[in-house]
Amino acid sequence: MPLLTLFIGLALLLAGGEALVRGSVAVATRVGVSPLVIGLTLVGFGTSAPELVASVQAAWIGAPGIAVGNIVGSNIANILLILGVSAVILPVVASGQMLRRDGTMLIVVSVVLVVIVLSGTLDRWSGVCLIAALAVYTIGSFVFEMRGNGDVVPEEPSCWPRNLWTALAISLVGIGGVVLGADLLVDAAIEIAEIAGISQAIIGLTIVSIGTSLPELATSVMAAIRRQGDVALGNVVGSNIFNVLGIGGVTAVVSPIPVPPEIIHLDVWVMLASALLLVAVAAVTGGIGRRAGALLVALYGGYLVLEFSPGVRAAAGL
């Protein structure tokens, strides 16, 4: 029953990711790491743990379609689906400062991924460069936030549990859940692709990427409900940057993988177009309104139809 295995794996992946974030944030707080550093690293990177482990696991067992498809598909889903739904709930406001720094970085990393994908292989050298770029970006963001905040002390993040050893135990349980969940999810995805007679890349671009993006969906929707549209936008942009630099980098270093042709011909271009559309609309209108959000969701629906219509893709040479 691959569908049941997939849902169990996804549940373990998401629950493990949540436990890992909570435990690691609590540990960092207990040992004196500043809230600013925690926010820029553990919280942001921790919510991407499902995508990271799923892609690494897929690459390790020789399933490049799922590994690369998860990265590209998550970035597409984050912008068109997650940000679209968030904007329908509450229009998203984009600051000029955020667009200049993070919006520009999003476009740059998207173009870099296109160039790497067009080479046909996600190799170790590319992975090292991506990880180095992530380190530079993170340090730069830290310096920028420190200068921007001045002497203001950031609010300490919520960090249950309070006990250090309990926090360590929860972190370890989270790691175990993420690893086991990723293993089940990837195995089930491969089996579903074989049974349905569709490529692993399409499964990675859709089912796996949507599933591993659920933490971002929950965060962005809750931010919109709480009337924090800027948080929803920052969550999506930051996650997409980390998906390319962090997940793409680590996956390539662990196990270099070939890029499936279908991703080269279509999906990486959809990813780039989505990023350009997001930044352009936000720059011109100052954010993402409800109509624009509905358009993004509709575009994602059209993308899914195209993904699961092999005849249409074949006729278009994709």
- Alpha-carbon distance of 35 to 25, in angstroms, equals 9
Q: What is the pLDDT of residues 60-78, one digit of tens each?
A: 888 888 999 999 999 999 9
Model pLDDT for residues 179-229, shown as the tens digit of each residue: 788 778 778 888 887 887 888 888 889 888 888 887 777 777 777 777 766
Answer whether 118's CB lies under 8 Å from 261's CB: no
In the predicted model, is pLDDT for residue 53 greater than 60? Answer: yes
pTM across the whole model: 0.84
Per-residue pLDDT at 259: 94
Range 248-270 average pLDDT: 92
Residues of the chain above pLDDT 70, percent? 85
Q: Where residue 162 falls among pLDDT bands split at 50, 70, 90?
A: low
Please enumerate in sequence order all residues whose Cβ is within 8 A of that of 51, keeping only pairs 6 or more positions apart, or say none: 70, 71, 74, 209, 212, 213, 243, 247
More confident residue, 156 or 118: 118
* Average predicted confidence (pLDDT) for the chain: 83
| pLDDT at residue 313 in the model | 67
Least confident range from 59-73, 110-124, 170-184, 266-280: namely 170-184
d(CA 214, CA 316): 31
In the structure, what pLDDT confidence band is assigned to residue 153 with cuts at 50, 70 and 90?
very low
Decide which of 12 and 159 is more confident.
12
- Contact (Cβ atoms closer than 8 angstroms) between residue 176 and residue 14: no
What is d(CA 117, CA 61) in angstroms, rounded to the nearest whole number? 20
Q: Nearest 5 degrees, angle CA 227-CA 229-CA 233?
A: 160
pLDDT > 90 in the chain, percent: 33
Strand positions, DSSP E, the chain = 92-93, 121-122, 257-258, 287-288
Look at residue 112 and tell me whether its pLDDT is greater than 80. Answer: yes
CATH code, residues 2-311: 1.20.1420.30
> At 110, phi and psi to the nearest 5?
-65, -45
Tens of pLDDT, residues 122-145: 999 999 999 999 999 888 877 776
Question: In this predicted structure, what is the pLDDT of residue 155?
Answer: 47
Which pLDDT does position 151 carry in this prediction?
46
Q: Look at residue 249 in the predicted model and tell me its pLDDT.
A: 94
Q: Return d(Cα 163, Cα 277) in angstroms, integer.
A: 45
Q: Which residues pair with 258 in a beta bridge?
A: 121
pLDDT at 200: 87
The 10s digit of each residue's pLDDT in 4-52 is: 988 898 788 778 777 776 777 777 777 766 555 565 566 666 667 778 8
Q: What is the pLDDT of residues 234-245, one digit of tens each?
A: 778 888 999 999
